[in-house]
Chains A and B, each alone.
Chain A
């Protein structure tokens, strides 16, 4: 039982390059999220998907796109990378009900844009 798997673990991009971060979960959760973690800024929500077929913007969506390919997979795409997108990216799968949500995080992707 792998939980939440993110690929790649590390990536260096040149400004203007594109890439897709992959995330897959095997816990049959409906909700999946993408966060970025920057020093002093915490975990900021980029996009989320409450269920298969739906996606919504979070706090910092500019420069990103997402695809909920199926219930298991939720990918994050940077079309034209910028140095400001240097960050650690976490995918999370969430289980919850009324008044409860637990996030299960992937291992993170450390992205550097030069």
Chain B
């Protein structure tokens, strides 16, 4: 079945440090991999995504990488700031059904 595993479940860093969140997926037909950020008490919102024909994508302080062979993708946040504190979800879109399956979430805490 379709499954997305996300690690770590919690991550605490000092302001200015980098943070890395990793995900693996099981469905080899998955073709799109978004990342969502959920601030406390708010709804998840898309922050960056990557398609299956691309290996890396950057947007200012955030970047995503994809290794299709290993079925693995990662979110990298550089120069972290307190406002980066949130829950981050990775997801994979099934190439067969189009369903969006989410990982378990990572709670990122950036300490000032």
Chain A: residues with CB nearer than 8 A to chain B?
Answer: 31, 33, 35, 40-45, 48, 50, 56, 58-59, 90, 94, 96, 99-103, 105-108
Contacts and interface: CB of A to CB of B under 8 A. Distances in A.
Contacts of A96: 93, 98
Nearest to B43: A105
Interface of B: 6, 9, 31-32, 34, 36, 43-46, 49, 51-53, 89, 91, 93, 95, 97-105
A84 B97 CA distance: 28
A42 B100 contact: no
Contacts of A50: 98
B105 A101 contact: no
Contacts of B95: 99
Interface centre among B9, B32, B97 (most CB of A within 10 A): B32
Contacts of B6: 42
A96 B97 CA distance: 12
B93 A42 contact: no
Contact of B52 (A35, A42, A99, A102): A99
A100 B32 contact: yes
A107 B45 CA distance: 11
Contact of A102 (B46, B97, B103, B105): B46
A69 B99 CA distance: 20
B44 to A, nearest CB: 5
